[in-house]
């Protein structure tokens, strides 16, 4: 067994391992190297350990990355593979997320127990979701449904659904595909009516800034279009200071040289929503995302932002 040339850090969930494995497979293909040139190191994070309280109470998204980022800064791993949508915009000093693998389908999937589509659920039915964005979008479309918190990894949530703890749930279609579970989806939500979380479906690679050796390895697997879409979506999120308490949806679509952006901010109860569409050059992704964020803020009343606090 040779000494690996690169250690990939990741969370330990089946989805996280599938994502790290996809990175390894792409690196093997791009550089003509065998599997044992790379090692995958699963790291348990505080977010994984604390399962019984809502994320917004225990400190938010950063809890799923803290221990991984410490390992990266200390040199125990060389890169970290993440679900981009779980990553805050501001990263610890010395770290950046400059590389992205080709995006998987960014849409949400509905999984109904007795009916196939969200619109077919009977009034009063329960949709299980711990996501503020999904909760707000559901209430906006179907104020007659009940949204109940539903946490745990993909497999746990599917089990809860089977046990009858909800009549339906929503999960990222990308996650289901990566786990070869796409057959459980009974409806794939329209991106216009039900836009995804910024970054959904994209694997981001976090590195130490200035690590030249890693840069040379990663440049070969970086996907430019995904990077542009993500730059716009994360710039939008950055303006809105997205934390776990803010329902924000954003989707950037790259068509050749052009970028089409769609974003929505909502109150958690879905009664107030502000929507923005922008288009421009993909090369201006950051500016387009930022402008969209500012424009959508200008539409909302101060009372709107108070409902987030």
Q: Verify whether residue 86 is a known catalytic residue.
A: yes
Angle at 236 between CA 232 and CA 241, to 5 degrees: 140
139-168 positions binding ligand PBG, by CB under 6 A: 154
Q: Which of 43, 137, 172, 181 binds ligand PBG (CB under 6 A)?
A: 172
Residue span binding ligand PBG (CB under 6 A) among the ranges 26-34, 169-177, 207-215, 277-285 = 169-177
Catalytic residue among 86, 211, 269, 284: 86
Q: Which of 174, 230, 231, 292 binds ligand PBG (CB under 6 A)?
A: 174
Q: By C-beta, is 85 or 234 nearer to ligand PBG?
A: 85
Strand pairing report for 38-42 and 6-10: parallel
Min. distance of Cβ 2 from ligand PBG in angstroms? 31
Task: Give the per-residue contact string, 84-113, with ligand PBG (x = CB under 6 A; - = no).
Answer: -xx---------------------------
Q: By C-beta, is 154 or 240 nearer to ligand PBG?
A: 154
Min. distance of Cβ 87 from ligand PBG in angstroms? 10
193-252 positions binding ligand PBG, by CB under 6 A: 200-201
Total residues contacting ligand PBG (rule CB under 6 A)? Answer: 10
Min. distance of Cβ 172 from ligand PBG in angstroms? 3
* 114 φ, ψ (degrees, to nearest 5): -110, -20
By the rule CB under 6 A, 171 interacts with ligand PBG: yes
By the rule CB under 6 A, 80 interacts with ligand PBG: no
Min. distance of Cβ 196 from ligand PBG in angstroms? 7
Min. distance of Cβ 198 from ligand PBG in angstroms? 10
Supply the residues annotated as catalytic: 86
For ligand PBG, the binding residues (CB under 6 A) are: 83, 85-86, 154, 171-172, 174-175, 200-201
């Amino acid at each position: 067994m040779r000494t690996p040339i690169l250690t990939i850090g990741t969370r330990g969930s089946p989805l996280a391992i599938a994502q790290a494995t996809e990175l390894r497979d792409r690196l093997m293909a791009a550089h003509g190297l065998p599997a044992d040139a790379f090692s995958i190191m699963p790291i348990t994070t505080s977010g994984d350990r604390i399962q019984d309280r809502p994320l917004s109470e225990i400190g938010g998204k950063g809890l799923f990355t803290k221990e991984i980022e410490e390992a990266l800064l200390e040199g125990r791993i060389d890169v970290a593979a993440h679900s981009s949508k779980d990553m805050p915009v501001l990263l610890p000093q010395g770290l950046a997320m400059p590389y992205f693998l080709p995006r998987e389908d960014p849409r949400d999937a509905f999984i109904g127990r007795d009916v196939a589509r969200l619109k077919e659920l009977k009034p009063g039915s329960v949709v299980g979701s711990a996501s503020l964005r999904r909760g707000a979008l559901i209430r906006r479309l179907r104020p007659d449904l009940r949204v109940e918190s539903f946490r745990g990894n993909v497999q746990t949530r599917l089990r809860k659904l089977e046990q009858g703890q909800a009549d339906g749930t929503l999960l990222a279609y990308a996650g289901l595909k990566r786990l070869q579970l796409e057959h459980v989806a009974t409806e794939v939500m329209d991106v216009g009516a039900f836009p995804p979380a910024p970054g959904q479906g994209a694997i981001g690679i976090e590195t130490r800034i200035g690590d030249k050796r890693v840069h040379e390895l990663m440049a070969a697997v970086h996907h430019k279009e995904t990077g542009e879409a993500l730059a716009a979506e994360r710039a939008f999120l950055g303006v809105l200071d997205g934390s776990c308490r803010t329902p924000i949806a954003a989707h950037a679509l790259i068509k050749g040289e052009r970028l089409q952006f769609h974003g929505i901010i909502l109150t958690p109860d879905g009664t107030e929503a502000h929507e923005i569409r922008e288009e421009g050059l993909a090369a201006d992704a950051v500016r387009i995302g930022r402008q969209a964020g500012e424009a959508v803020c200008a539409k909302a009343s101060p009372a709107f932002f108070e409902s987030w606090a």
